[in-house]
Chain A
Amino acid sequence: MADSIPAERGVSNRIVFPCDLAEARVATRVLRAFLAEQGLDEGEQFNCELCLAEACNNAVQHATGPGAKLPITAEVICHTSNVELRVVDHTAGFALGEKPDALSPEGENGRGLFIIQSLMDYVRYYRGDGENTLVMRRTRTSQQHRPAEDAANA
């Protein structure tokens, strides 16, 4: 996928939450419900929710010092052709390498980035001064708008 996408209208939802795993989980559930409302199917919803959760969990678990007191921002932007997920963290940042070809099933940790890079078509990590943004995009396979009530009951 190219680094720039044609300008098209998108519908977005953004949640700012405290640097806490339980708060992160609430935020990703809410954003999943938003994605359901935008017509993504169950599989797409799960994959996006999972990638958001992985990114948000990393943002919480790797925040240190003053960064651990700052809130984290998670956002989804639904375009007609793709969905974009963004997580802004206040960690020291990390180097986003290439996705390994395969993952060993062994080990209690270290699967989060592999999952994100496997499920998303486009992943970039923009590092700044005390603030970094993980951008993830995936081409949509379903585009049906569902009434909010149906999505909430899904």
Chain B
Amino acid sequence: MKIEHDGNSLRVSDIAELNAVNASSFRDEVRAAMPSAPDSIEIDLSQTRFVDSSGLGALFALYKAASNGNDGVTLRLLNPRPPIQQLFELTQLHQLFEISRR
């Protein structure tokens, strides 16, 4: 996994899976790297082949951490593969994150 800072923005990429084994460490690592009041958080899922409910929980935890008292933050999930995008829609995560393709 790669975490990059650009000013007050954070970008996470090179995530192979978000599953019950690694969801807690993913959440903790990204949360630790998060600026105190980020402008944007982007999570690039183009390399991510599998997400389960633990992974969804970790994404929700990051949404909470980023948006806590910070209504202006932009939260994006980039380039999820079709089955994973369908999972986001099924579980309503697309209401919390903007899902976009670049």
List A residues at the B interface (Cβ < 8 Å): 21-22, 24-25, 42-43, 46-47, 49-50, 53-54, 57, 60-61, 102-112, 114-115, 118-119
Contacts and interface: CB of A to CB of B under 8 A. Distances in A.
Contact of B20 (A24, A110, A119): A24
Given A111-B56, A111-B57, A50 B21 contact: no
Interface of B: 19-21, 50, 52-54, 56-58, 60-61, 82-84, 86-87, 90-93, 95-96
Contact of B52 (A42, A54, A107, A118): A54
Given A53-B19, A115-B53, A103 B92 contact: yes
B20 A57 contact: yes
Would you list the 8 A-B pairs with minimal beta carbon distance, nearest first?
A: A46-B83, A105-B92, A108-B57, A111-B53, A57-B20, A112-B53, A53-B52, A21-B20
A105 B50 contact: no
Contact of A43 (B19, B83, B96): B83
Contact of B90 (A108, A110, A115): A115
Given A46-B83, A54-B52, 12 more contacts: A25-B19, A46-B50, A46-B84, A50-B52, A50-B83, A57-B52, A102-B92, A105-B60, A105-B92, A105-B95, A107-B60, A111-B91
B90 to A, nearest CB: 6
7 contacts: A43-B82, A54-B52, A108-B60, A110-B53, A111-B91, A115-B91, A119-B90
B90 A118 contact: yes
Given A43-B83, A111-B53, A25 B20 contact: yes
Nearest to A43: B83
A50 B87 contact: yes
Contacts of B58: 108
A21 B21 contact: yes
Nearest to A46: B83
Nearest to A118: B90
Contacts of B82: 43
B57 to A, nearest CB: 4
Residue among A43, A108, A109, A115 with the highest chain B CB neighbour number at 10 A: A108
